[in-house]
């Protein structure tokens, strides 16, 4: 945290896609500069010229990522302070309770808020090139996986309209073999006319042969035309289904390429072994945890801060006799989703995690709530590992449980 005397002035950017509005105030709170500039090379050169006049400069902005933040991080003697949108709204209302809104008002209220309250804010520090690239790749991979899920849902919806036999034959529609089936046999009529030999060849070629499902699938294939849609609906929806299957195949190829690059970068990072030692994290979750926590060990001064940042810690509301506890929605969504997946996977790799999860389920907690509680517990362990730069040690963790009389260990040994 920077002491107040380290900044000569305080500024803020009300950013947009094409143009940005900047306001800079001095320590007494007077506006010393106000200007707009375009999101172009010349515009950012203008910004840096103005920023140099008032350096060292602290700048507030209502985001923590993106091309605007990237340009700000390249500005000399400029420290960035991200502003939560909910807090930004409150600072705006403090200046204009009437609800008035303008680019000038936003930038001025944020700059003045930074001048007054910046000692309680955390500056945004630039990550190393390797970690920054890894973070962007991991987040883009998650977005592409969401797109794949949407395409799978659209494919299943199309098949429901005209091809119930295909839905009955396959349970896993993230499997490329299921997409290949739709491409090879786009309609029930095509499937039935293909015959048993082609069915068997397809199953073996795409490694879909399973002794327990073989006969059932052949029976479904042979009866595919018994219950199907009209000719018009079949012709229209089969084209859509094949389109979705081809889109999924292309997307899966790109996802595999992303996965190779992420694993390559993750292997080069100094914290690879630390995050790779986490039970259940594996090659997919470990890089996501690393890039969301980062390299700055001072970023989370206590495990509770990390838990709040990840959304596993609940929020409480207390007013007089009223006291409520609710799920924390305002958090790092990518980290919350990653911790949720990690907690679920850890149950199958760590005995105490499975015991803890089962005990919560027996108490009536939902699956989501139990995983959130387990993630809360894991984050406390991860924070200590991260601070001390040590890998996970199951024996050491068990010793700590014995030392503190953990009720989880008592359940596990009973």
The closest alpha carbon to 123, from 61, 181, 75, 39, belongs to: 61
pTM: 0.86
CB 306 within 8 A of CB 293: yes
Asked if the model's pLDDT at residue 411 lies above 70, the reply is: no
pLDDT at 412: 63
Whole-angstrom distance, CA of residue 390 vs CA of residue 35: 49
Q: What is the mean pLDDT of residues 336-358?
A: 94
Q: Look at 210-214, 334-338, 381-385 and tell me which has the smallest mean pLDDT.
A: 210-214
CA distances for 121 relative to 47, 58, 82, 165, 265, angstroms? 23, 11, 8, 58, 31
Whole-angstrom distance, CA of residue 63 vs CA of residue 125: 14
Asked if the model's pLDDT at residue 413 lies above 70, the reply is: no
pLDDT at 105: 92
Asked if the model's pLDDT at residue 4 lies above 70, the reply is: no
Asked if the model's pLDDT at residue 409 lies above 70, the reply is: no
């Amino acid at each position: 945290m920077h002491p107040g005397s380290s900044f000569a002035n305080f500024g803020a950017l009300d950013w947009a896609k094409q143009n940005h509005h900047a306001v800079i105030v001095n320590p007494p709170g007077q506006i010393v500069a106000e200007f707009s500039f375009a999101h172009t090379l010349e515009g950012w050169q203008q910004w840096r010229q103005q920023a140099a006049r008032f350096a060292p400069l602290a700048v507030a902005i209502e985001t923590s990522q993106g091309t605007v933040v990237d340009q700000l991080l390249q500005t000399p003697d400029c420290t960035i302070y991200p502003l939560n949108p909910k807090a930004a709204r409150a600072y705006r209302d403090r200046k204009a309770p009437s609800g008035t809104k303008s680019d000038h008002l936003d930038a001025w209220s944020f700059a003045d808020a930074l001048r007054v309250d910046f000692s309680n804010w955390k500056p945004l520090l630039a990550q190393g090139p390797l970690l920054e690239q890894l973070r962007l790749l991991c987040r883009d991979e998650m977005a592409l996986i969401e797109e794949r899920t949407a395409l799978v849902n659209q494919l299943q919806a199309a098949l429901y309209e005209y091809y119930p036999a295909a839905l009955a034959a396959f349970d896993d529609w993230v499997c490329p073999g299921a997409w290949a089936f739709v491409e090879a046999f786009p309609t029930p009529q095509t499937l039935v006319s293909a015959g048993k030999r082609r069915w068997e060849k397809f199953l073996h070629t795409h490694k879909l042969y399973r002794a327990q499902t073989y006969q059932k699938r052949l029976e479904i294939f042979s009866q595919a035309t018994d219950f199907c849609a009209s000719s018009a609906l079949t012709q229209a929806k089969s084209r859509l289904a094949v389109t979705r299957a081809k889109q999924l195949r292309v997307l899966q190829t790109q996802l595999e390429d992303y996965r190779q690059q992420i694993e390559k970068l993750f292997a080069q990072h100094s914290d690879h072994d630390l995050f790779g030692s986490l039970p259940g994290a594996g090659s997919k979750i470990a890089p996501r945890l690393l890039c969301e926590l980062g390299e700055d060990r001072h970023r989370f001064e206590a495990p509770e801060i990390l838990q709040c940042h990840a959304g596993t810690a609940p929020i409480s509301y207390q007013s007089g006799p009223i006291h409520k506890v609710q799920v924390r929605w305002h958090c790092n969504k990518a980290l919350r989703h990653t911790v949720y997946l990690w907690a679920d996977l850890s149950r199958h790799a760590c005995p105490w995690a499975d015991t803890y999860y089962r005990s919560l389920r027996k108490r009536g907690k939902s699956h989501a709530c139990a995983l959130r509680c387990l993630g809360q517990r894991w984050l406390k362990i991860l924070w200590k590992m991260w601070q001390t730069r040590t890998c996970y040690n199951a024996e050491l963790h068990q010793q700590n449980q014995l030392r503190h009389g953990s009720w989880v260990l008592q359940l596990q040994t009973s």
